[in-house]
Every structure is written in structure tokens, then in C-alpha cells.
Structure 1
Amino acid sequence: MATISLDVGLLKQIRTVDPLMASYNIEMTEVTGGTFWKRYTPGQIAGTEPFVLHGIADLQNSMEPYPPKDLRNARLLALAKAIGPAWVRVSGSWASNTYYDFDGTTGGKAPEGFSSVLTRDQWESVLDFVKAIDGRLLVSVANSAGVHNTPDGSWDPAQAKLLFDFSRDYGVPIAAAEFMNEPNILTPDNSPLASGYGMIEYARDQDAFFRFLRENYPDVLCVGPCASEIGGPHVPHSTVNAQTNAAAGNALASLDAFSSDDLMPHLRERADVFSYHWYNGISERGASVLGNHWDASEAMGKDYLSVAEAACRRYLPMRDEYMPGAPMWITETADAGLGGDTWASTYLDVFRTACELGVFGELTDGVIFHNTLASSDYGWLDFGDFLPRPNYWFVLLWNRLMGTTVYGVDEGVLGAGGVSGDGDATLGDFVHVYARSRKDGRDGVAWLIVNSSTTESIDVHGVSGGWVYQLTADDPHAREIRLNGRPLALGPDDELPDLVPDTVSDDTVTLPPASITFLVR
């Protein structure tokens, strides 16, 4: 039994962070309609049926076409509003080759140099969505061959101007912009690669884009470099899949045209915000080809739950060197690239979400854009019927309970006791504790305590009179979770359940194995 005592008197304030830290993506391909990742089967999600990919040629079979998403759907809007105001990022690889057809001249056929078309009504639905949730809009723009029809091959701002002017005139101005989604991964589908486009050309064009923004839209935040660099020596790796990941060799690294470290010295226009993408690994869809895959049995382990922290620590020195004092935004994150792991839509992934949100505020100020709100298996909402998944309920509680003042939590604060019965485990292997001010503005502290052990309970002392919001599930692979033992589900008219806490009647509360608990007192 593990024992900790919460000593509020020893807490020290670290910083105040962005109230919109828990934000999200809507992929451009959701808006326009297009291909995205195919849904896993119920057996694959439950962990009873393997996912098999037969080589890289079979990777495209993991995708399927989807119609444009109805962003005016009543359930989708109601659930997004319940989360609260957020940054909404509309981007993704598909955004890099999308043509803005706001006057309806293309007939839905992408012009040469583009792969998809964004209509006026589709973009208005995005702007209406952002306005409805009292959100702020982040975009990336096209950087395909279609915007390089200039004498010297440099980027042409005409399409971007159309997007920014239309949004401003509609009453929902774009508040922040990245030039291109994941520029380090330059492929024929998302860049003018055929014309010899590389790092130097990209640096030239990002600088031009930031100058364009500052000259024409000075209130827009310039965000970058927006690279995606999964894995690497700076983060923990799977031990269960070590052999199969090694067999994939450098396939994932070979996709990179350049690294962030190489790019940054060539950028002359400093961004206002440092951005990067982070996924803990590659999903089953690409594991046999690209490696960097974690096994579900590791998803509650210390190594896996510390990957996002290690990644942030890898980028902090880069931010400090090139953009000292700038906020840090993770403009895409989830459990795994390529649509999420089979367990992304289950309770098992809430442990990663909780630890990533908890530790990020201890390291820096910024925003985490989950990928996605309602697309593929890693969406907070099911992409078919928009019903909440376990991560949605966690984020809903996080936004309602956790304030913006971050406190440091160390062994002195916890008064940590001994641990027994879990092999060679120590308290830090499975107890993850984070502290914030209260969202309701009252004196006191909101604690988040993650018990990622599957066998050990935790006795928490010093909580007399506190409110307990405890998340559990019948099984980590469950797609339904409970709050204080009561199932979380929408009512018959899509009403949210009452998120009612239990009150601690004495000085101790017990946190069962595989539980995620908010304590407010």
C-alpha cells in the first residue's frame, strides 16, 4: 500500500499558465472531406484481435474517404461548448495543398498544384464553430506547387490573403498562424518537392509568410517551426517492441527532409510562439513499417507516461535559444501518429493525457492542441456519432477544476510513505501528482493524482473536507468510464450528467489501482 500526505503549506508557485491550455485540432480534411484513417474494429480496440499490416504498400488501405464534417451538428457544438473556450487549430497535412474557392469557380475540382478544395460554406462552418465556443483560431496555409507560380519559385501570398481577409470580414479573424504543417516531412503530397524544394527554400518562404502577416495582419501570432520528430535518443522507447521497432530501421527518420535543429539557424523572422508536434509513437497502422510503436501493456508504465515530458525538455533549450521568453505550443499531440493506437479511444489513454497536461504546466507556459476533437480513433469524440470518449470526460473535469496557477509537487509536499506489494516498484513509478489553483477562484488547491499501478492502492492523507472526483473503469481497455462509481454518459436529450463530487468525511481517501482522481480542497 502506498501512502502520501498532501501538505499545502509546502507548495511553491511555479508559474501562471494559459487558461486555454487544453485545446484541439480540426483537420482540414475533416472540413473539406477527404481521406483519413479507417476505424479499428471493436475487437482490435478491446485488445482481443490483432491489427495486421502487410508492408508499406498496405498502408493506404488503412485509410478511407470521409464526407465533410458537419461542424454545425447540435451534439458536436454542445459538447465543444461544455469543454469551454479553446484554441481551434485547422491544419494537418491536407491543409498544405488545399485551394480556397470562396467564389465557387472550381466546381469542386482542385486546380493544378493543389489536391483539395475548401468552399465558402465549409470555411464559414469553421468560423461559426470557433465563434460558438468563444474560441480562437490557428491555421496553417497552403504551400504546394499551386502557390509557387512565381518567377523565382517563391511562395505567393494571394491564397493566404484570401483566407485571412475573408475570416476577418466575417467577424472571426485568424488569431495565429503556422506557415506549413510539419515542414520537415516534405513529400510530393504536401510540398513543391518536384521543383527542388528543401530546407533553405522553406526557411525563405516561412520568413516571407511571417513578414506578410506582420505587415498586413499585425495582431496575428506567428507560430513555428511546427516540426514533427517522433522518437529519437532524447525520449524513452518501448522495451516490449524493441526488436520489431529495430527491424524497421531508420524508416521513420528517412521521411525527414531536415530537422528542427538544422532549420532554426536559417530562419530570420522570429516567431511569437515556438511550436512542435508530439506523438508518443506510431500506431499499429504503421508499426511494422515505421517502428516506434509502444505495446498496450506499457501504456500505464513510467517510461511511456514520461515520453511527452522528455520531448518537451528536448525542445525547451531550442525555444530558449531562438525565441527566449516565447510560449510553447504543442500544435498536434496524441498517443500515436497515424490515427492513434487501438487503445486511443479507451480509458487506457486517459493516463497519458492526464500526465501530459499535468507536467506541461510545470515545464513551461503554452497550449496543447490535442489531435483531434472528433476524428479517427484518437478524437475526444467519436467521429461517427460525436459521443464522448473517456478522454473527453477527463478534459471536461480538468477544465472545470484546474486553475491557471501551477505549483511544484515534490517529496516534501507529498510526505511520501512506503510502498509494498508491487515488486520492485517505487512510489514515483506509478504515482503522478500535480497541483493547481482552483478553477472556481476560491482559496485552496486542485490536485490531480494518477495511480497508474494495476495492483497498488494509494492512501492519501490531509484531505479532510475535500471534494473527490475519481475516474475508474471496469478494464483499462473499456470505452465507458465512471465518476465516483457512476457511469458517465449523455442523457436521452444529450444532456451532460451531473459531475457531482464525493466529500471526504475524514482525513484519508483511498485511490484504487488504475484510477485518476481530482481532489479539491
Structure 2
Amino acid sequence: MMTKIKLPIGSLPFLREMDSRLISYNIEMTEVTGGTFWKLYTPAQIEGKEEVPQLADLSQMGSLLEIFPPADLQDQRALELAKALGPAYIRVSGSWATTTYYDLDGHTGGKVPEGFHSILTRKQWDRLLDFVKYVDGKLLISPANCDGVRNPDGTWNPEQLKLILDYSRDYGVPISAVEFMNEPNTTILGGTPSNYTPEDFSRDQDLCFRFLKENYPDILTVGPCSSGEKFSPYVGYHNLSVIPSEDLLEGCKEQADVYSYHMYNCFSERGAFLGIHWPGDKALSEEYLGIPWEAACYYKKLRDQYCPGAQMWVTESGDAGCGGNTWASTFLDVIRSADELGRFCTVTDGVIFHNTFMASDYGYLDFETHLPRPNYWLALLWNRLMGSKVYDLGQEIREGFHCYVHSRKDGKKGYAYMIVNNSPSEAALLEVPWRGTVYTLSAEYLRSPRILLNGKPLELTGTAQLPSLEGAPVEAGTLTLAPATVTFLVTD
């Protein structure tokens, strides 16, 4: 049944002001150092024409990974495309960061010290800092929390963190925020010492935050990096033990400045042995699209209990854990990304860190060519059109009409609407009472690697020259929203 909606005339109730760096992203520590990361899918798997081999258990996890060289953070295309997105937080973390040793003077000679799994060199970190500076980024990191950073009594030692904080500050790119560790709810996967308990985490995060507040008071403390919890019947691990965030936070004495969690709608095809996987033919469903909103509401309660008044940061966000689904690099995932952005802003102020900027199948950019994928164009258009003030449309979200309203990015009078028509087959009719400009994102087919703006392909010219991103003027009247599209409407 076709959805028909009439936009209201007059002013809308104001909800909140969002962080200007709402759209941020991850550059995984393993991208900086080089090392293992998720294997790339084959073209046939991306098209949905080839099955992804399934694993039996965790012992086979290594077969999902391959070794990659360090990301080319000096590549001009990557630099220009990151800069075009605008100011962002850049998170350097991931499970790999938990076991990485900072060798900023070369004293190891490339030999990994006992208690660590990898090394970060000065040259590698310099390139990352240069990248952050060029794109007007702010840096969020997670330090090591492995056997190699233990005091004799087993507590966490801040020496490695101090080293990288001081070095980055002296280089001219100070670190803005620290998240103590990556995904402490599943320490079995994260590289912490064996038998690391919730009490150990609370003690060590307190040590870290106290150290920062006493010595680096301008640095934001971020935590606990919640993940893996069954906040909805539509998500969760099958058999893996997950520590509840309440158990991690109950013993903490130092309150974080920012509450953080991770948000993946499911496990990817290759990670389906770990937990719930959603197939591609359900990627437009109300249940699937509602998962990030359920997460935001769930963690908002914990934020209010343990960090009242703090922002919420989704320090990793993507369609699926374990490197993304086969369709992560296609237009199909734009519907989810758009809806997560819009609905998150109705719940809380904060930041969403897309995982990743240019690694694996869920990256904004292709790993090899650094050409932008469909989700990059969505982020770019959002940042060009949607202002930081959020308003309440007063309309229920339903299939065919997920509508979110912000101020205009240019500061002019009027509103910027983003309407997601998630119906795979039905158009929606939108009655618009004023003139405006329309920008509709679509694709020739859902798993297309190419995205269209008002029917025309969005493509770079030269190294990194962006197209004009021009909208189409519309008069007051009825606007037809095609199935499986994201439409931005900027009103006069």
C-alpha cells in the first residue's frame, strides 16, 4: 500500500543540538601498523551470487583474516576525500590496539616485546598524525591493555600511554580523547591478560582516567566501549560469554566524560557462527533498521545512570561485525546508514564513528583504489545539507517513511529533511507545502557499487575532484519518493 504523508506547515519543536563532528570514522590500529584484517569478499559474493564459507567455531577465526600492508595515509585521493567530509573525530583503536607496543625511537629493532603482539613505529604514527592534521581531525585512541603493560602487582601501567600522548602533543597533533580499551565485554577476543575480570577492568579504567585527569585534563575520557550485549531479540552472540556493561561500570569510581558503545546490526556472513546474522533480503525491514535505535535507547539508560549529562559516542558503527556483510560496499547499506544517522539524533547528542574509513568491505573508501563507496556519498551529502539543530516532525516511523528534520547546514531559514523510503517495492507520496530543493540517492539495483544523485552517477574526476552535488528545485505540491531511496529535501 502506497504511503501518503503531508508535511506540517509552521515551526517544529526543537529537540537538541548535535555535535558538529557527528559523522566521524575509524582508522584501525592494524591499518596504521599493517597486519591482519578481514579478507575482502569476491565480486560474486558482493553481488550475492556466491556463498560465503561458514566456520564451525572460534578456532577457525584466523581463516577469515589476511595480512595487509599499512594503509597509505599519504595518498592524495584519501586525504582529499577525508578533508571533503569536513571536521571529524578519527579513532585509532580496534582489538589490535590492545596489544600494540609504541616504539617511537626504534629501540626494538622490529622485534615485538614480550607481552605484545605488534609494534607501532615513529614513521607510521607520524603519517597518521599528518593525516589527522590535514583533514582537520581530532584524535581518539585506545592504549594497550595487555600483559606487556602490567605493573608487578598486575595493575595497568600508563607509561606507554604517556609516551604517545607526549609525542603527539609535541608533534603538533594533540590527542583529544582516550577510550581505555576496545570492547571489554568480550575480553576473550580482545588481547587482555588471561582471566581478566570486570573488577580488573574497573580498577584499570579508573587508573587510566585518573592519570589523564591529573596530567592531561583537556583530554576527554571515553568509555566503557560497550559491545556484544543482547539489547534486542534481533542481535547477540550464540554461545560466547558477554560481560554486562553494568558489571564493568559498577566498580568504577572515575566517571567518563563520554559514554561509548559499538553498534553492528548483526554478524556478517563470515561471522555467522558467532551470532545472529541478517540476510540481505531483510536489510530494508523495519526490524533490521530499528536495531541501532534500540541500541541507542538501551545505552542511553546506562549513560544516564553512570555518566549523567555525557554525550554518547558510537565508537564503531557498521552493518555487521567481522568486516561487514557482502553488501556493505553497495547501495543497499546506504538505507541502514542513513536511518542510523537520522534516528540517533532523535535520542541523544553524540558522535557516530563509521568503521572504517578505508579498510575492509564496510570502509567509506575502497581499500585498493581509495574510490568512494556509496556510504561515503551519503555522509558527504549529510554534512553538506543537514545542520546541527534537530527537530521533532511528530510523525511515526513506518515502512516507506522514515523522516528526520534538522536545520539547514547553510544557516538559512527553513528545514533540511532526510526521508528514507525503505520499502523495496512501493513509492511514497510526500505533500510539500513550500518550495525546496531535492537530492535523491538511489541505485540501478540494490547491490550496486554505484550510487545515483537525482538519477545521475556520483563519480570522481581526476584524482579526487568531486562532482557538484546539485539538487533539483521543486515547487509546493506532491513529491514521489521511489522505493529504496534516501531523499534530502531542503526547504526555503
Residue 394 (structure 1) aligned with residue 378 (structure 2): yes
| Equivalence for 1:446 | 416
CA-to-aligned-CA distance 1:398-455 (integer Å, 9 cap, x gap): 00000000001223xx9xxxxxxxxxxxx71231000000000001000000001111
Q: Distance in 2 between matches of 1:300 and 1:236?
A: 18
Q: Distance in 1 between matches of 2:479 and 2:386?
A: 20
- Aligned mate of 2:312, from 323, 328, 348: 328
CA-to-aligned-CA distance 1:363-382 (integer Å, 9 cap, x gap): 00000011111110110111
Q: Distance in 2 between matches of 1:42 and 1:464?
A: 44
Q: Distance in 2 between matches of 1:229 and 1:371?
A: 16
The range that moved more, 497-506 or 60-69, is 497-506
State the TM-score, normalizing by the size of structure 1: 0.92
Check the 8 A contact 2:399/2:421 in 1, yes or no: no
Percent identical among aligned pairs is 53
- Aligned mate of 2:278, from 294, 298, 317: 294
For residue 470 of structure 1, report the CA deviation from its aligned partner: 0.4
User: Which consecutive unaligned segments of at least 5 residues does structure 1 have?
Assistant: 239-244, 415-426
Q: Distance in 1 between matches of 2:341 and 2:163?
A: 35
SS in 1 for 2:27: strand
Q: Distance in 2 between matches of 1:89 and 1:463?
A: 42
SS in 2 for 1:266: coil
- Aligned mate of 2:238, from 232, 250, 254: 250
Check the 8 A contact 2:263/2:316 in 1, yes or no: yes
Check the 8 A contact 2:155/2:204 in 1, yes or no: yes
| Equivalence for 1:424 | none
State the TM-score, normalizing by the size of structure 2: 0.97
SS in 2 for 1:285: helix
CA-to-aligned-CA distance 1:127-186 (integer Å, 9 cap, x gap): 1111111111100000110101x2211111111110000011111110000111111221
For residue 72 of structure 1, report the CA deviation from its aligned partner: 1.1
The range that moved more, 46-55 or 433-442, is 46-55
| Equivalence for 1:170 | 171
Q: Distance in 2 between matches of 1:372 and 1:452?
A: 24
Q: Distance in 2 between matches of 1:490 and 1:188?
A: 39
CA-to-aligned-CA distance 1:327-383 (integer Å, 9 cap, x gap): 111111100000000011111101110011001111000000111111101101111
Q: Distance in 2 between matches of 1:388 and 1:52?
A: 28
Residue 496 (structure 1) aligned with residue 466 (structure 2): yes
- Aligned mate of 2:326, from 330, 339, 342: 342
Check the 8 A contact 1:334/1:340 in 2, yes or no: yes
For residue 126 of structure 1, report the CA deviation from its aligned partner: 1.1
Residues 37, 270 of structure 1: CA spacing in aligned structure 2 closer, same or farther, 3 A cutoff? same
Check the 8 A contact 2:258/2:313 in 1, yes or no: yes
Q: Distance in 2 between matches of 1:25 and 1:306?
A: 23
| Equivalence for 1:211 | 210
For residue 197 of structure 1, report the CA deviation from its aligned partner: 2.5
Q: Distance in 1 between matches of 2:207 and 2:280?
A: 44
For residue 189 of structure 1, report the CA deviation from its aligned partner: 5.7
Q: Distance in 1 between matches of 2:55 and 2:141?
A: 35
Q: Distance in 2 between matches of 1:164 and 1:152?
A: 24
SS in 2 for 1:363: coil
Residues 444, 519 of structure 1: CA spacing in aligned structure 2 closer, same or farther, 3 A cutoff? same
- Aligned mate of 2:267, from 282, 297, 318: 282
- Aligned mate of 1:267, from 244, 247, 252: 252
User: Which consecutive unaligned segments of at least 5 residues does structure 2 have?
Assistant: none
Q: Distance in 2 between matches of 1:183 and 1:439?
A: 37
Q: Distance in 2 between matches of 1:217 and 1:376?
A: 34
Q: Distance in 2 between matches of 1:170 and 1:8?
A: 52
Check the 8 A contact 1:464/1:508 in 2, yes or no: no
SS in 2 for 1:429: coil
| Equivalence for 2:390 | 406
- Aligned mate of 1:485, from 455, 460, 467: 455
Check the 8 A contact 1:461/1:508 in 2, yes or no: yes
Q: Distance in 2 between matches of 1:450 and 1:8?
A: 21
Check the 8 A contact 1:463/1:504 in 2, yes or no: no
Check the 8 A contact 1:53/1:59 in 2, yes or no: no
SS in 2 for 1:108: coil
For residue 10 of structure 1, report the CA deviation from its aligned partner: 5.0
Check the 8 A contact 2:3/2:400 in 1, yes or no: no
Q: Distance in 2 between matches of 1:273 and 1:294?
A: 30
The range that moved more, 159-168 or 503-512, is 503-512
For residues 97-176 of structure 1, what are the structure 2 equivalents within 5 Å?
97-148=99-150, 150-176=151-177
Q: Distance in 1 between matches of 2:147 and 2:248?
A: 21
The aligned amino acid for 2:460 is: L
